Structure 1
């Protein structure tokens, strides 16, 4: 259950990063509100998960999901450039998160 919280928190991290971008320096109301909601949700769920998990692996998974999700969202919906190097790098982040889980370090 704690790992599910980390995964959802990571997805919400993607939401707060995108909301931050769309807020244009907190000058647009609804993107700013969405940033706040996603950030509070993300940090709140991560905090709950850290009651049961070690901070290192949990934080690595959280940031990995958030970073990969944000990069993918940016390319898919915000017109950011797509390159082979970018896609390989995102794959390496995801592979690292999976490797950390499989290594037993996250148990």
Structure 2
């Protein structure tokens, strides 16, 4: 169940970041409300995940996979650039998260 909580924490963190982008600097009420709700849900699910998952692993996954997902959203939805350096850097984040997960074995 902790891994489901971890996935939900990541999904809500990404949704909160997307909502923040749509808030135009916290000037649009609906996206601001969605940002707050999504981040609160993300933190709640993250706290539940921490009951069984080591904090170092959980935080690396939460932040690292959040970065990867928001980068994909940025490239495809917001038409941000996808340079080779950006893609290689994302690959290093993924490798780091996998490495941390393997280190607990």
Contact 1:7 1:61 in 2 (8 A): no
Q: CA deviation at 1:44?
A: 0.6
Matched, 1:65 2:81: no
Distance 2:3 2:94 in 1: 15
Distance 2:56 2:95 in 1: 17
Distance 2:102 2:4 in 1: 16
Match of 1:101 in 2: 101
Q: CA deviation at 1:3?
A: 2.1
SS at match of 2:27: coil
Match of 1:17 in 2: 17
Distance 2:8 2:65 in 1: 9
Per-residue CA deviations over 1:10-37 (Å, capped at 9, x if unaligned) read 1211111111121112111221122112
Matched, 1:82 2:82: yes
Per-residue CA deviations over 1:69-106 (Å, capped at 9, x if unaligned) read 1111111101211111111111211121112112226x
> Number of residue pairs matched?
105
Please report the RMSD computed on the Cα atoms of aligned residues, expressed in angstroms: 1.4
Structure 2: runs of 5 or more not aligned: none
Per-residue CA deviations over 1:45-75 (Å, capped at 9, x if unaligned) read 0011112222111111110111111111111
Normalised by the size of structure 2, how large is the TM-score?
0.90
What stretches of structure 1 move > 3 A for 4+ residues in a row? none
